[in-house]
Amino acid sequence: MSSLKNHRFEFAVVLMGGLGLAGIAGYINTLIIALGAPPVTHLTGTISRWSSDVGRGDMIDAQLVAGLVVAFILGAICSGIIIGSSTLHIGRRYGLAILIEAGLLSLAAFFIDQSLITGAMFAAGAAGLQNAMAASYRSLIIRTTHLTGVITDLGFQMGQFISGHQRLGWEFVLLASILFAFVTGGILGVTSAQQLGSDGLWIPAGVLGIAGFGYFLTRTVLRMRG
């Protein structure tokens, strides 16, 4: 029974964390796009734009877009250094990673009015760090800053369900929740851009700062008691 309770608690934490992070990613991406920059939470479209720039000989835009790609990769590298494993496990240094992400978003909010691409690069670094924080939970691959894999897995599981090969379980609930949160965050992000402009970036920075500090304190207290 204790093991079942632990699994339920762990899933609840993963679900809430996934909802929060996916919502923030959706929010950041649409806000940045509304301000005139390329998407920052995923790289497929960004790299295609870079390829197109190189093909047309537009090296100025190609250099700007390449900056976003490098920033995203550097964020993922930072996550790997801090956390050390892509397998989600409550107790790892996620609090520190989230605090750094909050700091990067704060820098994005501070610089973006002076330089759109500089602000977007800080936001891309934050997204890369977030996306690499937890790549897998049990047998499920989890990404919170883009939806291609999420929607692919949802479609595959629905196909299995329709054919009678598998029931829809916790994996479906988690993936569907991430999809819903990302879309909802995106709606809030573009609304925030219309009303607050670049100042809307301070909202996710503040939320992540509070969440990261709270996780950090909780982890510290649990370690002291253990």
> What single string gives the DSSP state of each residue in 43-65?
SHHHHHHHHHHHHHT-HHHHHHH
For 19-74, write each residue's pLDDT tens digit.
999 999 999 999 999 999 999 998 988 899 999 999 999 999 999 899 999 999 99
Please tell me the number of Cα atoms within 13 Å of 208 on its side-chain side: 29
The residue type found at 133 is: M
Answer whether residue 183 shows pLDDT above 90: yes
Q: Which helix (H) or strand (E) holds 140?
A: strand 140-141
d(CA 96, CA 56): 42
Cα separation, 155 vs 149, in Å, equals 10
Which residue carries 């009678």 as its tokens? 164
Q: Render pLDDT for 125-172 as a digit per residue (tens, 0 to 9).
A: 999 999 988 777 777 878 889 898 899 999 999 998 999 887 778 889
Q: Flag whether pLDDT at 115 surpasses 70.
A: yes
Average pLDDT, stretch 206-215?
92
Please state, as a whole number, how many other Cβ atoms lie within 10 Å of the Cβ of residue 119: 24
Q: What pTM does this model have?
A: 0.90
pLDDT at 1 > cutoff 60: no
**Distance between CA atoms of 112 and 126, rounded to whole angstroms?**
14
Which run of H or of E encompasses 136?
Answer: strand 136-137
Cβ pair 78, 133 in contact under 8 A? no
Give domain limits for the chain: 2-225
Residue 222 binned pLDDT confidence (cut-offs 50, 70, 90): low
Residue 220: is its pLDDT beyond 80? no
